[in-house]
Chain A
């Protein structure tokens, strides 16, 4: 089957670094996405990995290991506005040759002053 696991909640201090882990099991893997979602709002795209390694984008970095079914999102220099849910989503090739997207339950990050 297809499954994505990520921690439910994390807390960190303003200015610190936090790593949010995601493990997945899927067939036909074709990319892993991280989204940020503030309460009551739509998800917004943060990063995308399809090959192993680290992708850096300003304060945000995302890492992927396909052999381990593992990814993490690294947030540096945390700001209060980073308090949000962070969603890990896996894209896989569906039966008709097009893509399906499976989302994790999200990790609710609280940034404390």
Chain B
């Protein structure tokens, strides 16, 4: 079974530039998550999709971050404009069901995109 695919693996941009990350979840997984993991910290949820609808985006800095999930499959996360503090690994995860509603379901993570803002 193919895992969660993310691209690019690494990205270096200057502050105030824009950047986009792409995620292809495991086939058939209804729930997709974007997490931000700052160095030395645990992952923090940015947004959760159920199919193509947003379930939770309470921690997404909406003035600069946006995300969409087209046709309930692939997803993109965009930052515009980027700040130095956005330097982090952006992890995409998917699960067949929502973990928040069905605690006994596993989220499968991609390898992440490491963003450095200079």
Q: Do A and B come from one complex?
A: no
**Residues of chain A at the chain B interface (Cβ within 8 Å):** none
**Residues of chain B at the chain A interface (Cβ within 8 Å):** none
